[in-house]
Structure 1
Amino acid sequence: MKVFHSPASLLHAPVTYFRRGKAIPHLEQPARYELLLNAAFTAGHDIELAGVFGIEPIQKVHSSRYLSFLKEAWDRRSEIEPGLEHILPSHFKRPEMDQYPKHIIGQVGFHMADLSTPIHERTYEAVMASSDIALSAAKHAIAHGHAYGLCRPPGHHASVESAGGFCFINNTAVAAAYMRDTLNCRVGVIDIDVHHGNGTQNVFYSNEDVVTVSIHADPSNFMPYYAGYADETGVSAGLGYNLNLPLPHGSGDQIYLNAIAYALEFCQRQGVEALVVALGLDASEEDPNGALAVTTRGFFACGQLLGSTKWPTTLVQEGGYLSEILGENLKAVLGGFDSSRGSLAG
């Protein structure tokens, strides 16, 4: 399989974040990129640097004012307080408060959803490169059937106008919009990350051209808490095109695989002709940020299922945090996918 990546993934390097009132070591480390790239290389996949696509494809997903905020925030940090080492909110926008502030300190709280997604000096370079990785994989998948984008930082919690959950630009949504517009067809997104893909749902919730499915741990006591429930099915033109499959915590291979099979059937019924997989590996039984119990063997079977269609398919890396088996789980998914497609090169 063709694997796209960028060394710019290393430029965003958060140190700590707040979780349940405590500052802890940040889970979304640059070492994730290095470990996953090495796993893909040692498995014999075809490694290639991502191209550069610019801002235009991202504007199909995110608002102009949000993208301007991401680009300008670091250079404006002294307006908040001189000498800041990172940018995080001190206040948050609430649903009943809709005015857009002119000052950067208010824009931070408007556009950032939590205390786990800090902006650093070179964050913008890293997130733009991550989007380029997803777009490179999507372009290759359109021409050759499938590809994997080793995106870091991840993206599926980034909404139209907000960063959160370690995510800034929604790489999965950017890839889906690119495939939709290039192929002029209905695209499916199947998100298998342990966390609900709330950002992707937000982007396409009123859209019938992109079918969104998320398979994740029950969010009633798990991030993102406020979305990811079975009764969220879309609105307006998108009604009936969003499917959430929340799973009981501790669910293992069979429940997870049954959900993926159902997701594929749902996409087929909705007339999907191309697919983007939000490839979270944090459903692993050993993931430090997970709530499910999928084995490496289960991930191989997952790859087989996802590769069983004839749809052009882009696999976009989302979550999956440092553990002894993270690299093996990536090898398993890609190997299972290739075993269904009958090609290693892609």
Structure 2
Amino acid sequence: MEEPLEIPERMTELLKAPAALGLDVTTAKEVGMSPILAVHDFGYVQFLKHGYDEWMALDDDLGAQVQTGIFMPYDNPGIGIMAKAAKYQADDSAPISEHSWTSIYWSAQTALNAAEALLSDESGDSDVQLCFSRPPGHHARRSAAGGFCYLNNAAIIAEHLRQKYAKIAIIDTDMHHGQGIQEIFYDRSDVLYTSVHGDTVNFYPGVTGHEFEKGEGEGYGYNLNFPMPHGTDEAGFFEHVDKSIEAMSVFDPDVIIHVLGFDVYKDDPEAKCEVSTEGFKVLAQKMIALGKPLIVLVEGGYYLQKLNDNLQAFLSGLTDVS
């Protein structure tokens, strides 16, 4: 059995970076459930919160985690925990353990704290926020978990920010396509979603992330995918990023949410491209150059040996700390 990629040690490594640069890390305060339920179905959130207890209460031993081999999102009344798992788990990479809900909930609260900082800021001092949001969120759909993702932090804070900002842009540079963000905003023109990711033909999530997926109805043209051929070099990565940035510049958002994945790093086990450590500094500089309030959600990245260095590089580009 393969070892999981999404492990607590990732956060240990990531937190070394701000410490090395002398940057303060604050602990999130509770914002609550309302912003979560503004994006996700109530029954799905209840499953995430209570599913483990229901699973363990069964007389039959189904294992130590809620993890389904049955996938039935539709025509499924959700009667019993097996049916709920079949309804709400999109694939086998989002199991639920005893303490999962605590991590899931506080990951979302962390992102919401960044949104709250922008909403309450009158001085511009809080214009750049970086969140250590683990577990990540961009694969989480309105009512389905998958790809290590349970609550869609980017979507939750985009919706929350709409109370102050008319137009939100989400740029996703994680190695994988964020099908959850795409689904949630697919028919809307107030949130632009642009994603740079590895070509999803025979690569997770496998069924979305193609260039022809441009949104529908009012949202047509506000969903832009830039799939990279596998094996793309760093220059090619930035060519795709620049296309995404050009689209955002035309959209002229009031605030930008950056879903940052360190799994585009050249030695990451998930990488299908060749971004260097220095490349993350360049990426941050490109985000800052847009001159907009910015929230960065640190999501993917599974090469533990370089998470600290890669985040330090990104932070140096974000803060001009050399």
Q: Does 1:321 align with 2:302?
A: yes
Q: Which residue of 2 aligns with 1:135?
A: 112
Write the letter of the residue equivalent to 1:111: Y
Give the counterpart of 1:266 among 227, 247, 251.
247
Q: Which residue of 2 aligns with 1:90?
A: 69
In structure 2, the CA distance between the partners of 1:167 and 1:280, relative to structure 1 (3 Å rule), is same
How far apart in 1 are the matches of 2:162 and 2:294? 12
> Is the CA contact (8 Å cut-off) linking 2:13 and 2:304 kept in structure 1?
no
How far apart in 2 are the matches of 1:217 and 1:306? 20
How far apart in 2 are the matches of 1:58 and 1:139? 14
Aligned-residue offset at 1:80: 7.3
Higher alpha-carbon deviation: 319-328 or 113-122:
319-328
Q: Which residue of 2 aligns with 1:174?
A: 156
The root-mean-square deviation of aligned C-alpha atoms, in Å, is 1.5
Write the letter of the residue equivalent to 1:168: Y
> Is the CA contact (8 Å cut-off) linking 1:260 and 1:305 kept in structure 2?
no
Aligned-residue offset at 1:250: 1.6
Q: Which residue of 1 aligns with 2:51?
A: 73
Q: Does 1:103 align with 2:85?
A: no
Q: Does 1:25 align with 2:3?
A: yes
Q: Which residue of 1 aligns with 2:16?
A: 38
In structure 2, the gaps of 5 or more residues are none
Q: Which residue of 1 aligns with 2:136?
A: 154
> Is the CA contact (8 Å cut-off) linking 1:280 and 1:320 kept in structure 2?
yes
How far apart in 1 are the matches of 2:249 and 2:166? 13
Aligned-residue offset at 1:190: 0.2
Q: How does 1:1-346 map to 2 (within 5 A)?
A: 23-77=1-55, 78-79=57-58, 81-82=60-61, 84-93=63-72, 97-142=74-119, 143=121, 144-181=126-163, 183-339=164-320
SS in structure 1 at match of 2:26: strand
Write the letter of the residue equivalent to 2:81: I
How far apart in 2 are the matches of 1:331 and 1:185? 32
In structure 2, the CA distance between the partners of 1:43 and 1:141, relative to structure 1 (3 Å rule), is farther
> Is the CA contact (8 Å cut-off) linking 1:286 and 1:323 kept in structure 2?
no
Write the letter of the residue equivalent to 1:201: Q
How far apart in 1 are the matches of 2:7 and 2:212? 34
Aligned residues: 315
Aligned-residue offset at 1:103: 1.5
Task: Kindly provide the CA deviation profile for residues 179-217 of structure 1, in whole angstroms up to 9, marking residues without a partner as x.
Answer: 222x23110000000000111111111111110011000
Aligned-residue offset at 1:46: 1.8
Identity of aligned residues (%): 33
Task: Kindly provide the CA deviation profile for residues 315-337 of structure 1, in whole angstroms up to 9, marking residues without a partner as x.
Answer: 00110013322211111112112
SS in structure 2 at match of 1:269: helix
How far apart in 2 are the matches of 1:272 and 1:295? 29
Write the letter of the residue equivalent to 1:262: K
TM-score, normalisation: structure 2: 0.94
Aligned-residue offset at 1:83: 6.8
Task: Kindly provide the CA deviation profile for residues 285-324 of structure 1, in whole angstroms up to 9, marking residues without a partner as x.
Answer: 0111221110011111111001112211100011001332
Write the letter of the residue equivalent to 2:25: I
SS in structure 2 at match of 1:163: coil
Higher alpha-carbon deviation: 165-174 or 226-235:
165-174
TM-score, normalisation: structure 1: 0.88
How far apart in 2 are the matches of 1:93 and 1:146? 41
How far apart in 2 are the matches of 1:102 and 1:219? 33
Write the letter of the residue equivalent to 1:62: H
Task: Kindly provide the CA deviation profile for residues 108-164 of structure 1, in whole angstroms up to 9, marking residues without a partner as x.
Answer: 011001112110001001100000111112222442201100011111100000000
> Is the CA contact (8 Å cut-off) linking 1:180 and 1:210 kept in structure 2?
no
SS in structure 2 at match of 1:47: coil
How far apart in 2 are the matches of 1:83 and 1:103? 13
